[in-house]
Amino acid sequence: MTSGDILHMRRAIALAARGLGGASPNPVVGCVILDPSGEVAGEGFHAYAGGPHAEVVALREAGGRARGGTAYVTLEPCDHTGRTGPCTAALLEAGVARVVVAVSDPNPKAAGGAATLRRHGVVVDEGVLTAEAEEVNAAWLTSVRAGRPYVTWKFAATVDGRSAAEDGTSQWITSPEARADVHRLRAESDAVVAGIGTVLADDPQLTARVPATSRAAPVLRVVVDPGARTPATARVLDGEAPTLVAVAEDAAVPAHLSRHAVRLPRVPGGIDLHALLAELHGRQVVSVMVEGGPTLAGAFLREGLVDRVVGYLAPALLGAGPAALGAAGVSTITEIHRLEFAEATPVGPDLKLVLRPQSPVPSKSPVPSKSSGRTSPKES
């Protein structure tokens, strides 16, 4: 691995990030093509499912300069035909002499591209900036490896950890800049999840208010509502985006919720979150953002279903009022949820923190969805 390999792969990773929110349920992929002299001839990323893959976009830009050159790709080129043809065929037809890969494709349907290229005489080097490339593609990789969506818990709080004042008022703890960043995060997610307590208390709309070009489709709004109490006037039912209301299988569902409701097993304290994620996985939801209140956040943590924590801390103190996090299955200090800092960035006057569990979330066999006949997400 040379310094040039690192430089060009890092650029490919930055290109891949441009596909967040648009490429799902496919992976985000970036590609940089060099001509034989080592000059950049083409760049590309996978912008939307069903559209041209990153390699194809970069090869089109490179044209004849790709022959005898090098391709840097964040994910192993696919070797199958879905809605588009195999990228291995495109690279071979263009006459690329060397392909540098960051992450091997874990999807058995699309994997094998590196071996195919080698069989045709292409030099393939793998494992360049793997950790960085996996980070930008964490949602899709989790979906494939764990059989469930990648889960981000987002919260906003004062520096003493309060999400609202003692009387329940909470608008606005954080700044307009932080709230704009939250909408960007929503737009990069396939679904936003809130609990019924948040819906009844705050009546959020849960839409991603960003330019229309940021996403190919609206973010799915999900309400965890075991008792089917979401009122007909709730803004999450306003038709601005699709909405799913997860109710307990024994709940009486009112008429205004009938077309939104999905029945899931009841467990003590609510519904089975593993079953909820399996349902969303079956609907090709790759990434989920949990925003709804301390009780729901605690339940996701308690079940080991949080892959990333994004917190916005305002330089303010309340001293009393609801905490950002509810009961999370910790009764003694040895059960504490240990996290690792990945990012600490000022956003306006606030501080944005990105953290991840110290222990990776184990892969689980997906729970079969009883109400959706859709298949698991596949690259296409």
Q: List residues with catalytic annotation.
A: 55
**DSSP codes joined into one string, 153-222:** EEEEEETT-BSS-TTS--TTSS-HHHHHHHHHHHHTSSEEEEEHHHHHHH-------S-GGG-SSPPEEE
The angle at the Cα of 229, spanning 217 to 263, to the nearest 5 degrees, equals 65
Q: Specify whether the CB–CB gap between 101 and 75 falls below 8 A.
A: yes
CA distances from 65 to 39, 191, 300 (A): 9, 41, 50
Beta strands in the chain (DSSP E): 30-34, 40-45, 70-75, 98-103, 123-126, 150-158, 191-195, 220-224, 243-248, 261-264, 266-267, 270-271, 287-290, 308-314, 339-347, 350-357
Rounded CA-CA distance 325/157 in Å is 10
